[in-house]
Chains A and B, each alone.
Chain A
Amino acid sequence: MPPLVRTLASVLVFALLATAFPIPAPAADDVKIALVAPLSGRWARQGQLKKMGAEMAIEEINSQGGIKALGGAKIVLREADAGDSVEKAVSAAQRVLTREKISAGIGSWLSSFTLGVTEVAERLQVPWLTLSYADSITERGFKYTFQTSPVSSLQAEQALDLVTDLAKKNNRPIKKAAIVGDNTAATVFFFKPLREKLLAAKGIELVVDEVWTPPLADATAIVQKLRATQPDIMFYGGTNFPDSIQVLQKVKEFGVKTPIQGVGAWLVTPEYVKTLGKEALDNIQTVVAAHPLKGQDELVKKFKQRTGEPFMTQDPLCTYAHVWLIKEAIELAKSADPKAIRDALAKIDISSGPAASAFYPSRVKFDERGRRVGATPLIVQWQDGEPFTVVPTAVATRPIAWHK
């Protein structure tokens, strides 16, 4: 057989064999939840963290008797790899939502992926939960998209209030601020209102405004400016890990003492400690949508045991909560039908249980756009090589250590 035909044959055979992989056949009445997240490629780490959270919730629910309203039906996770491109993410969503009857879905971490995936979910009328911050996700008049995180522009407003209050309380009022970050969507949505009105409204001067397109070649120019102007706070949005490391290393190198206020949960991964060391991270804060709160020690312990991760962060926590939230919605709807679940989510209002207590304030109710009513961001701070919720104090797991 000529080599070419041999090659084609082997590829074909392999592909066919692959389709013959035994899929564990779910019981007919199992409820299927889709998770579309990057499981390979550039953002695989984040997707895998989400999956860990989802799996933990599913195991809990199933071991506690499944979904009561459906006679103890178990939940089954259907994950689909969003890969590293919008095309793959949307393909994954299409695939998973049309292959079987999916009751609801979660994903997809990157706001561009989420935008694409929710377009599919909207067209196929499957309710979708996301932890993405970008305002645009719930500005499209969609009925099937539900965003549990406070949106970036709101986070900007609330975070600024929190931070200026804290600074005043600690006798270090903020007069000069810096904006440093990349131009990814969530970051842009956060910085825009800051730059355009919020800072001015508080009489704060914007002395450094440096936004880059990833990847960042070198942080010297930025940090030089910080050193020259000595702002009282730096709002920081370096979502890409290598870029962020460069900035933080440079900050240490130049001896810049400006307090750093991150924007997003990307700043609280274990890799930061391993790469920068505890001391360099100490007291760096960031605004997030969710983080383990006071009273969630059991949950965190369980997560650490299951996964070996040193701590639990927003991604697994939110995904865990999302699965529980879907469960609550199914209980409310008494049906696994996606439309019924969507209606249940639209009118749900719960303030207790694993679904609600992962968020702050612990209430889940969605407005007509699909945004969680009253959603407020948290501030998480690195202390001794671990990130702790510090603000609001009511749910803090450690007191805040304001910058010296």
Chain B
Amino acid sequence: MALAELVQYVATGLLVGGVYALMSIGLALIFGVMRVVNFAQGDFMMLGMYLTYFYAVSGSIDPLLGAVLTIPPFFALGWLVHRGLLARVTGGGDPQRQMDAQLILTLGLSLVITNATTMILTPTPRGIRTAYATQAFVLGPVLLNQARSYAFVMALVLAVAVYVFLTRTDAGKALRAAADDPEAAAYQGIDVRAMHALAFGTGIALVAAAGGLLATYYPIEPTVAGNFIVLMFVAVVLGGLGSIPGAFVGGLVIGLVQSLTLLVLPFQLQNTGVFIAFLLVLYLRPQGLFGRRARTV
């Protein structure tokens, strides 16, 4: 195996992983702060893809910009969904029971969103035609697909923005406090409920943006969430629950593993490589790559 070929595999894996990474950060934020397993996360991504498509078709807005423009409306949508639905099921009571209830609630939400979209927008797949989806940057023998490269850079930018928000701003710190210890945060005067809404809104906005970036090279259909939802969850858990950098790294790792698995296993078994790697990481590090080990006693 020539070095150039190997580099190509690694590059491909990272580019694919970049978008997985952005998809996963939103999920990680929601889980980290609210302990909510949001099954509908992929469907919000799908809606983000449709909005980006709408921007492209009616306003001739390039999807890279369109992706960023999905952030405000989806933040609002996330806030509303939290207000209207999730807030009633979170906060107070047995956390395990809550997690179970949220699971089914978000599953129900997922069904509603997917089916309603199929009915309203029809199941016909749509695609945004961009010149750069079929062009590549040439770095010696390695070809980097332009659409995926732009998406990767944007994903990185957004991820860094989120990280800065969480670590440098007061709102971000309040969010992390509410995630760490809701009771203590409440005593500090932090409105935990508002923090949850903030986290959910941000998480939805991020995954919608990821969808927009994905739409630069991936077709849009109401059921597209199914192709990514499991990978998203695997990335978040792999990275360590509640860790945003962890989820990002988790996404990149999945992209890499998907690509490098092809060197070892038949193509058909590509995703088994991901699941096996996932299991191995958890056995060696039960809390995930960046997760914190829970105190035992």
Contact = CB atoms under 8 A, between A and B. Distances in A.
Interface of A: 40-45, 48, 84, 183, 210-213, 215, 217-218, 220-222, 224, 241-242, 245-246, 249-250, 252-254, 271, 274-277, 280
5 contacts: A42-B223, A213-B268, A224-B8, A242-B125, A245-B127
B91 interface: no
A380 B34 CA distance: 54
Nearest to B148: A218
A40 B125 contact: no
Q: Among A43, A211, A222, A250, which residue has the most Cβ atoms of chain B within 10 A? A: A250
B118 A40 contact: yes
Those 4 A-B pairs whose CB atoms lie nearest each other, nearest first: A275-B127, A44-B123, A215-B227, A252-B134
Contact of B123 (A48, A211, A249): A48
A211 B267 contact: yes
B106 interface: no
A241 B8 contact: no
A218 B259 contact: yes
Nearest to B135: A253
B4 to A, nearest CB: 10
Contacts of B258: 217-218
A45 B125 contact: yes
Contacts of B133: 249, 253
Given A44-B118, A250-B145, 8 more contacts: A43-B123, A183-B268, A212-B268, A217-B270, A220-B259, A224-B5, A254-B136, A276-B129
Chain B contact residues: helix, strand, loop or mixed:
helix
Contacts of B226: 42
B115 interface: yes
Nearest to B268: A213
Interface in B30-78: none
B271 interface: yes
B8 A220 contact: yes
B218 interface: yes
Contacts of B122: 44-45
A246 to B, nearest CB: 7
A387 B230 CA distance: 36
Interface in B5-27: 5, 8-9, 12, 15-16
B12 A218 contact: yes
Contacts of B127: 245, 271, 274-276
A221 B126 contact: no
A274 B126 contact: yes
B164 interface: no
B200 interface: no
Contact of A220 (B12, B118, B119, B129): B12
A29 to B, nearest CB: 34
Contacts of B259: 217-218, 220-221
Nearest to A215: B227
Nearest to A274: B127
A254 B122 CA distance: 33
B136 A241 contact: no
B214 to A, nearest CB: 10
Contacts of A215: 227
Contact of B223 (A41, A183, A276): A41
